[in-house]
Amino acid sequence: MVLCLSETINVKLESRDIKDIFRLPSRKQETNSNSPIVVELGSTILKSELLKQAKSFNIKNKIKIQAKHLGHTTKEDTPVFLAEHLTPQGARLFFLARDLVKTGKYKYCWTSYGKILVRKDDTSKVIHITNESQIHNLVQSA
């Protein structure tokens, strides 16, 4: 599936570049088919390129990445999302930081190399989020 996806988004990926692939446990007890799949690649450069090309593919094409791009023939139209795998603490911080954008207090929120970053507008400096109290301070100061 990963190699098929890499061909679709024009990333030169070979099976030797993949260190490990595993599925995270599903939160729902009845099915495991839609639980996240984690792919560990041999280098962070390759990981960054894969994420960058996936984002570019979704911007350029009307049809975003779907199951058919992974080689699936059933449920072809099921959307597929690519993202950095964060620790539970990082995922919580990212969730809270995205609320800053939803409320309109900040314009940008993203992750890079496992770090959560926000920016108030195009000209302001990038803020690295490290804990929940920092987010609460940003809410109060905005």
Q: Please, what are the averages of pLDDT over each run of 10 residues along the chain (142 residues)?
A: 90 92 76 78 91 91 86 81 90 93 92 92 94 91 76
3-state class (DSSP) for residue 109 = strand
Number of compact structural domains in the chain = 2
Query: Are 83 and 110 a contacting pair, CB within 8 Å?
Result: no
Quote the pLDDT of residue 140: 86
Distance CA 116, CA 108 (A): 11
Quote the pLDDT of residue 73: 76
Provide the whole-model pTM.
0.75
Distance CA 123, CA 103 (A): 19
Residue 16, number of CB atoms within 10 A of its CB: 7
CA-closest candidate to residue 79, choices 23, 5, 25: 5
Q: Give the CA count within 13 Å in the CB-facing half-sphere of 40.
A: 6
Domain end call among 70, 101, 116: 70
In a domain, 83, yes or no: no
Domain end call among 16, 42, 70: 70
Q: In this structure, are 124 and 97 located in the same domain?
A: yes
- Residue 79's DSSP bridge partners are 66
Domain end call among 14, 43, 70: 70
